[in-house]
Structure 1
Amino acid sequence: MALRRRSQSFRPSRKWMVIMALTGIVALTALGVGYRYYRWFFASNIITPGTEAHYIYIPNGAEFDEVMALLQREKILKSTPSFHKVAQLMKYPSLIKGGRYRVRTGMSNYELVSALRAGKQSPVKLTFTNIRTKADLAHVVSQKLMTDSAELVKLLHDNDYLKQYDATSQTALARFIPNSYELYWNTDAKGFVERMHKEYRRFWSEQRTQQAQRTQLTPDEISTLASIVDEETQKNDEKPIVAGLYLNRLKKRMLLQADPTVKFALGDFTIKRILHKDLEIDSPYNTYKYVGLPPGPIRIPSITAIDAVLNAQQHDYLYMCAREDFSGYHNFAKSLAQHNVNAAKYRKALKERNIWR
């Protein structure tokens, strides 16, 4: 009898069984909820078209609804509700940062939201070369960045704004060194100018600054002369010779008589033949009328031309004329008499080809 009573004392009561059952239900429910949250956060939810890198572009100041609409247009979310839920839980709607973001197939909601929330952008490669005008530069930049082209042109004409960079609207183009750069897509006009100013200061190293001093020209004047050299010849091996010629004329206080400056003053670089009437235009850029360099570059000078001026060839040439074979090279002369002979050959070649303008 004693043994029977002892075994009965270990039998679970109905209350205990109910508690155990409820505990099991809660555990299973928690497990289910936890698994659902795990799936929301860490399961693959991104699929991109093709095998190449895919990017999404979020404008500065975008609202959460705009971001969701953008992602839906891109059709990269397997489950829109799960992304929306994770974004809310991670407080992304109050932490949106504009930019260009790379996405890949297999990313989880957590990975994508973390990247967007932290502003982990993929930079854009911007390359600009052979740029003549501020409008040309603004167009190229606006094709790659979120920079407003009209705003950039406006800044480059704003002397008050340019004072902080020791520049004017006339020398502004000297502040841009043509090259390839990595920038964030959501860079605005002011941000772009600031970044280019840093690159400009890096370009004008101590070595280049000392070379400029030896020519007795400022960096702006070097860039201005380099812009003329670029317009005079596309042959890189000839640029140091052309640069030396113009430096010779500057030292002698001779008129530069550079045809490209007249084209700039006329606003037409398509002109192939400068006429006598063109030389009468009253402009500080008309180097047939005014001694010395024009007020600023007539284009963004190439690095090759800048270095050609800094390392100009030493010679006695004072005159140049395009070769009559239209090779792109020039005939150089030390005397006006020899130059006139070269010029006559070129004029004859123009006539034979019926080039009058």
Structure 2
Amino acid sequence: MKKTVLLVAALLLVMVLVGAWIFLGPATAFSDSKKYLYIATPAANEKAVMDSLQKNELLKSEGVFNWLASRMGYWEKVKPGRYEIKKGTSLLSVVRMLRNGQQAPVNLVITKLRTPQDFARLVGRKFETDSAQMMAYLQSEAFKNKRQISADEAMAYVLPDTYTYFWNSDPEKIFQKLADASRNFWTAERKAKAEAKGFTPLQVAIIASIVDEESNALSEKDTIASVYMNRLKTGMPLQADPTVKYALQDFSLKRIYEKHLAVVSPYNTYRNRGLPPGPICTPQKKTIDAVLDAPQTNYVYFVASPAFNGTHVFSATYAEHQGKARLYQEALNRLMAQKQ
């Protein structure tokens, strides 16, 4: 009798250990450090989860996972999202994570984007929503009515930074976080500076985007901004080459020729006075501050420096500008001759 009891106890212990190993031991079937399980919003159900697990070969035993998920009530409410499964994770941990909706965050890193289409494509690569849905949202009447801005103007609110979301965030949530960050950036002090210069925050962002495309040298961005502000105040056309590239949607152009200036577009600041309808790239925060802190100058022209150091030289008169442009051209000719 005693031997029987010991044998039964041993068998129970073995069963407990086996069960513990099955449910608490490593259950992943991949060699990478981690993989992701994507559960789409329209089909957040048992079949979608099981199909995704099997297709991506994430677990050693989908059948045991299914059994455990049923016992833990997971199939009653499947939550869509992007879930990170680390190598060696147990079945119990996986089911708990999915049941609790503990999604892995998605970082949306904004650097330089030029068009709303660029932004939409970036969103489409990072989120469940695709680029077409993002563009449809930006161009919708609902967006325009709620934000009081157009799709072109929307890029003024897409400030370079890193933003954290969930994978299944919809276009409204994605843009709302950007709009909130922009609102926080535009402090009362910054708004007061813009008003003192006679511009709105949107107009400052548009100017900053042009300055960003003109120069990478932070030391001169405030002076370049002063040139454009002076042109605007005197009624001169901006005549900003980067806006012509934007109008042509050809950002590979190194120089703008007479033939390019004929393009019919509200972004062609050679043909149209005033600012273009929206930013021509996502304006950097430091460039916006450079515009807000632009000095009072009498400059209305600038040309690349003959030192070829990425900076520019500035002029108050056209005659002075022609002289400096000639110096640059002569230096360029000498440089090209040396290369040949």
The TM-score range, normalised by the shorter chain, is 0.7 to 0.9
* Alignment match of 2:40 (pick from 47, 59, 81): 59
Cα 1:106–1:286, aligned 2, differ >3 Å: closer, same or farther? closer
Cα 1:224–1:53, aligned 2, differ >3 Å: closer, same or farther? same
- The equivalences for 1:166-245 within 5 A come to 166-245=148-227
Deviation at 1:84, TM superposition (A): 0.8
Cα 1:67–1:36, aligned 2, differ >3 Å: closer, same or farther? farther
Q: 1:121, 1:217 → 2: CA distance?
A: 42
Counterpart position of 1:47: 28
- Does residue 305 of the first structure (1) align with residue 287 of the second (2)? yes
Q: What fraction of aligned residue pairs are identical, expressed as a percent? A: 38
TM-score (norm 1): 0.82
Say if 2:39 and 2:80, in contact at 8 Å, map to a contact too: yes
Deviation at 1:171, TM superposition (A): 0.9
Q: 1:273, 1:77 → 2: CA distance?
A: 56
**Residue deviations 1:221-274 (CA, integer Å, cap 9, x gap):** 111111110111122222111112212222223222211122222332222222
**Residue deviations 1:8-41 (CA, integer Å, cap 9, x gap):** xxxxxxxxxxxxxxxx9xx98xx79x94996488
**Residue deviations 1:51-105 (CA, integer Å, cap 9, x gap):** 7343322222332122112223333323322211111112212211121212234
- Does residue 145 of the first structure (1) align with residue 124 of the second (2)? no
Q: 1:226, 1:62 → 2: CA distance?
A: 44
Letter in 1 for 2:120: A
Q: Specify the structure having the higher radius of gyration (Cα).
A: 1
Counterpart position of 2:106: 124
**Residue deviations 1:170-221 (CA, integer Å, cap 9, x gap):** 3121121111111112223333222222222222222322222222211111
- Cα RMSD of the aligned pairs, angstroms, is 3.0
Say if 1:165 and 1:197, in contact at 8 Å, map to a contact too: no
- The equivalences for 1:72-151 within 5 A come to 72-151=54-133
Q: 1:101, 1:168 → 2: CA distance?
A: 35
Q: 2:324, 2:274 → 1: CA distance?
A: 24
Cα 1:73–1:45, aligned 2, differ >3 Å: closer, same or farther? farther
Cα 1:243–1:109, aligned 2, differ >3 Å: closer, same or farther? same
Deviation at 1:119, TM superposition (A): 0.9
Aligned residues: 331
1:111 alignment partner, SS class: helix
- Does residue 331 of the first structure (1) align with residue 317 of the second (2)? no
Q: 1:348, 1:271 → 2: CA distance?
A: 22
Counterpart position of 1:21: none
Say if 2:208 and 2:288, in contact at 8 Å, map to a contact too: yes
Mean alpha-carbon deviation: is it higher for 217-226 or for 242-251? 242-251
- Structure 2 residue runs of 5 or longer lacking an equivalent are none
Counterpart position of 1:15: none
Letter in 1 for 2:279: P
